[in-house]
Amino acid sequence: MARLFGTDGVRGVAGRDLTAQLAMDLSVAAAHVLGDAGAFAATGRRPVAVVGRDPRASGEFLEAAVVAGLAASGVDVLRLGVLPTPAVAHLTAALGADLGVMLSASHNPAPDNGIKFLARGGFKLSDAVEDEIERRLGEEWTFPVGSGVGRVREAYGEANRYISHVLTTMSAALDGLSIVVDCAHGAAHMVAPEALVRAGARVESIGARPDGLNINAGHGSTHLDKLQQVVVSRGADLGVAYDGDADRCLAVDHTGAIIDGDHIMAILAAAMHGEGLLAKDTVVATVMSNLGFKLAMREAGITVVETAVGDRYVLERMKSEGYNLGGEQSGHVIMLDHATTGDGLLTSLHLLGVVAKSGVPLKELASVMTPLPQILINIKGVDKGKASAPDLLAAVAEAEAELGETGRVLIRPSGTEPMIRVMVEAASEEHATQVADRLADVVRKVCA
C-alpha cells in the first residue's frame, strides 16, 4: 500500500480521500502515539491538544471528527478556530500542549484538505513517528469513560498571543511603509492585516474575504497577478502574499516585480549576517534554490547548506546542525530563533523590517542576487527508478562540464508520479533550454 502520509501530512479531496472517518481514526492513533494518556496517569492530568484550521468549508466537519477522536481518547482539546499553520505550531509550544493538529491543504484548491500533526514543542513529525501513527490506524482501543474522557473548549482568543509573539521578534517599526497584503482568502485573513497595522504599516488587504470555497482562488502566493496590479495602481511600497495556511510568503516590489523565496532568504541572510545574527554564517536551502542565490551568498561570505526538496528537510538540517535561517524558493522560510516551522507572517514582518530599517526599497535590496535562467521539464510516463541509469548519469556529467560554474543540472524523480524532472540553469535562457532539451531526450530514451 502507498504511504498515507505525504511530504506535509495526509492530504486529499475532502469527503472522498480524506473522510470524516479517516480523520477520526488518524486523531485516535495520534492521541495514542503523541499523547498517550497512560503516560499521564501518574501526573493526574490528561494530555492536551490544540486544533486549528484554515477557512475551507470541509474544515468544519473534519475539525469535528478530529476533536471527537481526540476527546474520545482522553485528550483535552483547545479549539483555536481559523489560524495559520505557524500560529498553531507556536501555540502548541506556548500553551504547553502535547500535540497540535492543523487542518489545511495549504495552496491547494478548496475541495482538497489535509491533516498535519505537530509534536510537543510545535515541530512537524519525523517520518518514523508518522509511520507509527499510520501503523496503529484501526487498532482495537479501550476508550476512557466518565471523568476519563477529554474535555473540549474554545480558545479563539489565543490568536492574539500569536500576533503578539511575532511582533516581539521585530527590531524596527514599519512606520511610513505602504503595503498591500494578499491573504489568499485563507487562514491569515484576520491575523496578518492586524499584525502589519500594529507594526506601524499602512495596509490594504486583498484576498481577505474567505467564504469556505474561494481559498487560493486567483489570490495568494500562487497567483500574484492581482497583487502586482494593486501594488502598482496604488503606488504602494511593496506587497506580500501568503498561501492558504500562511506558512509561506512571497513579495512584489513597487514596480510589480516578483520577489521569490530565494530573494527573500538572500535579503534576510545578508541583513542577519551584517548584524552578527546569522548562526554559523550559514543559510540552509534546498537543491531547487537558484544557483544565483548560492553565488550571491558566496560573494557575501555566507555558506549555503543544501537539502532535499521540502521544508521539513530544511528544518531537520537546521535543528541538527544549529542553523537559524533556511527555506525554499517557494517562500517557505524558517527563522528558527522565532518559529518552529515556515511562517509567512513572520517572514514578511522581518522582510519589511529590513526595508524600514535600511531605508532601501525592496527592489534594490533584491538586487543582492541575480537569478540565473532556470528551465524545468517534466517527463511523464517514464520509469523513475532509472533516474540513476549509467547512460543518464554520463549525459548529466557531460552537461555539467559544459556549463561549468555558471550553470547547474538537477535530475529528480517525482515523489508521487511516474515522472522525472529535468532542471537546468545556465548563464542564458537559450543555453539552459538547449541543455534541458538534450537531457530530456536522454531521459525519454533511457528511462522508457
Active site residues: 106
> For residues 178 and 237, is the Cβ–Cβ distance under 8 A?
yes
Other Cβ atoms less than 10 A from the Cβ of 175: the count is: 10
Alpha carbon distance 231, 55 (integer Å): 25
**DSSP β-bridge partners for residue 47:** none
At a CB cut-off of 8 Å and minimum separation 6, what does 404 contact?
none
Alpha carbon distance 63, 52 (integer Å): 8
At a CB cut-off of 8 Å and minimum separation 6, what does 110 contact?
56, 57, 212, 213, 214, 215, 216, 217
> For residues 240 and 354, is the Cβ–Cβ distance under 8 A?
no
Q: Identify the burial level of 195 via C-beta atoms within 10 angstroms of its C-beta, where 0-12 means exposed, 13-18 middle and 19 or more buried.
A: buried
Secondary structure of residue 112 in the 3-state scheme: strand
Alpha-helical (H) ranges within 155-224 are 159-168, 191-198
